[in-house]
Amino acid sequence: MANYHFVYKDVEGASTQWDDIQRKLGNLPPKPPAFKPPPFTPAEDEDSKPRDKNWIDHKTEEELQDLEDDPDLDEDRFLKEYRNKRLAEMIETSKISRFGSVVPISGSDFVREVSQAPQDVWVVVILYKDSYPECGLLLRCLEELAKKYPATKFVKIISTDCIPNYPDRNLPTLLVYNNGAVKANYVGLHTFGRRCTPEGVALVLCQTDPVLNDGQSGSELSREAVLKGIQERFLEKVVAEHEDDGGSSSD
């Protein structure tokens, strides 16, 4: 004959009247709180979210690309136009932020990094050697310009890595490329005036083409607009330096 044992278990958290009296007298520990499951909150489905401006703002560039053939979006003219606007802004922002410094390259990198750069990108190449102070001075100017004009690509390469037996007397040399072709070249530091400054270098670079731009005004910026922006920055710098000196000239 089977031996069955039945264990009675009360509702969790329940207690007897005797236990309650003992707890009041301090003979038993406090009663643990009854278990309560967390309230049910259904997961929010992406498709259930209201399709509005805020919904578009939270999309990544890749997600906005995926909405290109969304039939529901075709029915909402405002959302479709706003999606196109946001996507254009993201693409422009990513293009602006891809540069911003003078990047060292080797001879084997030259074709890929310079000659095959995108058609809408201007590339400024400095041929240099570390042992020449003039090269260091021009490099410092280019580093500042690279930060101000992140839509322009700046690279540096040791002269003889780029052109074998390139004469040291020509250092530093700047080459300006666009759409795979050389647009200008500047040999020697004297090309940039008696004082080599970032503003002076910028003015020389943009004398014939809109080599420098910060990307804020689009890729079709005119040379005149670029020169005007450089001149305004130059004046702002002069005024700031004058104010730092307390507005007084040295004897």
Question: Percent of the chain having pLDDT more than 70?
Answer: 66
Model confidence pLDDT, tens digit, residues 114-133 = 999 988 889 999 999 999 99
In whole angstroms, give the CA distance from residue 103 to residue 126.
10
Q: How confident is the model at residue 41 (pLDDT cuts 50, 70, 90)?
A: low
Range in 4-13, 165-174, 184-193 with the lowest mean pLDDT: 4-13
In this predicted structure, what is the pLDDT of residue 251?
A: 42
Of 99, 125, 119, which Cα lies nearest the Cα of 219? 119
**DSSP-assigned letter for residue 136:** H
Residue with the bigger pLDDT between 102 and 31: it is: 102
Domains, the chain, in order of start with CATH, read 51-65+73-96 (no CATH), 102-244 (3.40.30.10)
Comparing 12-21, 169-178, 224-233, 241-250, the range with the smallest average pLDDT is: 241-250
Q: Which residue has the tokens 């490329």?
A: 177
Indicate the SS3 state at residue 96: helix
Q: What are phi and psi of 126, to 5 degrees?
A: -110, 125
pTM: predicted TM-score of the whole model, two decimal places? 0.57
**C-alpha angle 183/186/187, rounded to 5°?**
140
**pLDDT mean over 146-154:** 90
3-state secondary structure of 248: coil
